[in-house]
Structures are given as structure tokens and as C-alpha cells.
Amino acid sequence: MTIKIYGPAASRAARTLWIVHELGIPFEHVAMEMKDLKGPDYLKVNPNGKVPALVDGDFKLFESMAINLYLAAKYNKDGFFPASLEDQALCNQWSFWGVTEVEKPLLTILIDMFMTAPDKRKPEAVAEAQKVLPKPFNVLNGALQGRDYLLGSTFTVADLNLASICSWSKPIKYDFSPFPNVGAWLDRCLGRAAYKAARNTK
């Protein structure tokens, strides 16, 4: 049965579009328009009226990280979802860490730079976000020392989930020169064919 992914490609649904391409999962993409998010049909899928959402048979799920971890576990291939409980916990750790430590400041800068009218911009909020980011990126830089990916030499759902957040650093041209391990890791992740395919999903 084909799963359904709800949400525009230029939203957090991009994370789930990446993982279905990565794992070769047949899917139907329901792009949605903002006006439809509060409609009664969609609210049966996700009562929050937000994207993304997943429908897999009779099973419905919202929250991008939960969706991706579910798909990684269900459709695992080549160690993409690791076997040990400890490594699975690390996948959870890095996924949630990305949301709590990195997503908000990157999104603050991105929205201000590209989606806010010049007279509505908040340079003080952008400055604060820029001040926050070095701390988590320093943590990530240390975690990647001597390894290609978060769990070692293999690309896993941990890398995909975190890189999907860190990808927002590209349009704002964030300078990773103080964090070379992060910059190299992110380029490896975003260079994958599945990421490029997800970006071209209509």
C-alpha cells in the first residue's frame, strides 16, 4: 500500500520526502495549500492543521521527526535504522537535539532574510539567533571529529533528520569555517541523490 505524505516540498515535509526517496518507499505526495490546512478533511489527518502528516494504511502520524523515525524503522535497509537499542537512541537524540537546539535560530534568520518585508525585519532577533548557533554547532563539530557521519561511517536516519534542519543554513550562507567537520558532513549529506530528488518533488 502506498503511503501518503501531506505538505509542500518547501516545508518540513521536505524531511519526509527525503527519507522516502532514500529508502525507495512508494508514496503519494499531497502538496496541500495553506488554505486547506484547517479544512475538515485534513484535520482528520492532522488535528493540529500543520504539515507534514503521514497516512500509512489506517495509521496516521504527525511531527516530521516522528514520521521519519517510524519510516526508518519500518522500511529499514542497509543499517539506515541501526540494530542496537543504543544506536537507535542516538538517532532519537540527534533528531530531537536538532529541533531543540538548531531549528529555531536557523529558521529565525531564514524567515527574516527571505520571507519578511524589509520594513518588518527584526535585526535584533537575527543577531540573537546568530549568537546562539555557534554553541550547538561546536557540539556537533566535536561529535563528528574523526567520523563521516553521526554514528560512524554509515549514513543513518540520524544524519538525514539533523541535516534536513541544518540545510536551512545554505540559503542564509552560514559560515561553517569555524566548524569544518559540520560543513563537510552537511555537504556529504546534502550531496546524496535522494536529497536532490526530494527537492524536485512536485
The CATH topology of domain 3-75 is Glutaredoxin (3.40.30)
**1 pLDDT higher than 80:** no
**So what's the pLDDT on residue 51?**
96
**116 pLDDT higher than 80:** no
Segment 156-181 mean pLDDT: 97
Q: Which has more confidence, 147 or 119?
A: 147
The C-alpha atoms of residue 15 and residue 87 are separated, in whole angstroms, by 20
Residue reference for cell 535504522: 81
**So what's the pLDDT on residue 121?**
84
**So what's the pLDDT on residue 115?**
74
Please state, rounded to an integer, the average pLDDT across all residues of the chain.
95
pLDDT digits (tens, 9 = 90+) for 12-32: 999 999 999 999 999 999 998
Segment 126-155 mean pLDDT: 97
Percentage, residues of the chain above pLDDT 90: 85
Confidence category of residue 60, pLDDT binned at 50, 70, 90: very high
Q: Where are the domains of the chain?
A: 3-75, 85-192
**So what's the pLDDT on residue 132?**
97
Cβ partners under 8 Å of residue 42, min gap 6: 6, 32, 36, 49, 53
- C-alpha closest to that of 99 among 15, 193, 184, 201: 15
Collapsing DSSP to helix, strand or coil, 118 comes out as: helix
Task: Give the CA count within 13 Å in the CB-facing half-sphere of 157.
Answer: 34
Segment 144-165 mean pLDDT: 98
**81 pLDDT higher than 90:** yes
What is the rounded (10 degree) CA torsion for 62, 67, 69, 74? 130
Cβ partners under 8 Å of residue 124, min gap 6: none
Segment 23-50 mean pLDDT: 93
pLDDT digits (tens, 9 = 90+) for 117-136: 887 888 888 999 999 999 99
- Sign of the C-alpha dihedral, residues 110, 111, 116, 119? negative
The CATH topology of domain 85-192 is Glutathione S-transferase Yfyf (Class Pi); Chain A, domain 2 (1.20.1050)
Q: Which residues of 50-76 are buried (b: 16+ CB within 10 A; e: fewer)?
A: bbbbbbbeeeebbbbbebbbbbbeebe
- C-alpha closest to that of 109 among 143, 133, 93, 85: 133
Confidence category of residue 200, pLDDT binned at 50, 70, 90: confident
Q: Determine contact, residues 6/45, Cβ cutoff 8 Å.
A: yes
Confidence category of residue 109, pLDDT binned at 50, 70, 90: very high
**198 pLDDT higher than 90:** yes
